[in-house]
């Protein structure tokens, strides 16, 4: 792994059963460069006999902060088709740099945004910040109360196999959109500075 850290993805859930997780990541398993806002469920990680090691943090929020988080999350849900994965920021975060683009996030940037944090560049930093709120580390199947042999139906959209041409077109569209949004943000910032 590039980060030399065991964990490489963060999601946010509003309930302890983790039946619905919100994040940014790949939309289709075989297109790791193309992604966006995703609503995950356990099948994404547990189908076809798979299991993963997870950490669950229970973060206490004031009623006002929770309401604000829900409103912010509703924006992502209501605009999910325009949200894209910030592939460039994922790379530059290794050097403690972020590249801003409208409605483009990494999983860390998404979690950071919803929790009202700044300057979190990695899952490791998040884990250190919330170490005292860790409530579980171990098998995702065990957390959900599933046996190692329990059958979990695959997420058909995530497991979908795209043709090489579809993967190319998806990657091209993704990066074209990301470049345009980065340029728009630069122009917007330049206009604000003048």
Residue 32 region by backbone torsions, left for phi larger than 0, else alpha for psi between -120 and 50, else beta: alpha
pLDDT digits (tens, 9 = 90+) for 15-71: 989 989 999 998 888 887 789 999 998 888 888 888 999 999 999 999 999 999 999
Report d(CA 65, CA 86) in Å as an integer. 26
Determine, yes or no, domain membership for 54: yes
Determine, yes or no, domain membership for 7: no
pLDDT at 62: 94
Determine, yes or no, domain membership for 186: yes
List phi, psi (to 5°) of 22: -115, 135
Q: Across the chain, what does the average pLDDT equal?
A: 88
Determine, yes or no, domain membership for 6: no
Q: Select from 38, 115, 47 the least CA-distant residue to 77.
A: 38
pLDDT at 34: 84
Determine, yes or no, domain membership for 3: no
pLDDT at 6: 82
Determine, yes or no, domain membership for 1: no
Report d(CA 83, CA 119) in Å as an integer. 21
What range defines the domain where residue 95 resides?
12-193
Determine, yes or no, domain membership for 66: yes
pLDDT at 1: 42
pLDDT at 58: 95
Low-confidence ranges of the chain (pLDDT < 70): 1-4, 157, 194
Into how many domains does the chain fold?
1
pLDDT at 158: 74
pLDDT at 181: 93
Determine, yes or no, domain membership for 125: yes
């Amino acid at each position: 792994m590039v980060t030399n850290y065991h964990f490489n993805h963060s999601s946010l859930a509003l309930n302890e059963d983790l039946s619905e997780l919100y994040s940014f990541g790949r939309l289709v398993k075989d297109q790791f460069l193309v992604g966006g806002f995703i609503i995950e469920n356990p099948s994404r990680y547990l189908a076809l006999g798979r299991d993963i090691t997870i950490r669950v943090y229970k973060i206490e929020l004031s009623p006002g902060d929770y309401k604000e988080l829900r409103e912010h999350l509703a924006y992502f849900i209501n605009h999910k088709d325009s949200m894209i994965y910030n592939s460039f920021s994922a790379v530059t975060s290794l050097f403690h740099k972020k590249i801003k683009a409208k409605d483009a996030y990494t999983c860390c940037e998404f979690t950071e945004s919803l929790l009202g944090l700044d300057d979190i560049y990695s899952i490791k930093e998040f884990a250190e910040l919330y170490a005292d709120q860790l409530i579980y580390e171990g098998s995702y199947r065990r957390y959900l109360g599933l046996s190692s042999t329990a059958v979990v139906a695959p997420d058909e959209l995530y497991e979908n196999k795209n043709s090489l041409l579809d993967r190319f077109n998806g990657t091209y569209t993704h990066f074209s959109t990301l470049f345009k949004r980065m340029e728009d943000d630069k122009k917007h910032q330049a206009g604000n500075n003048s």
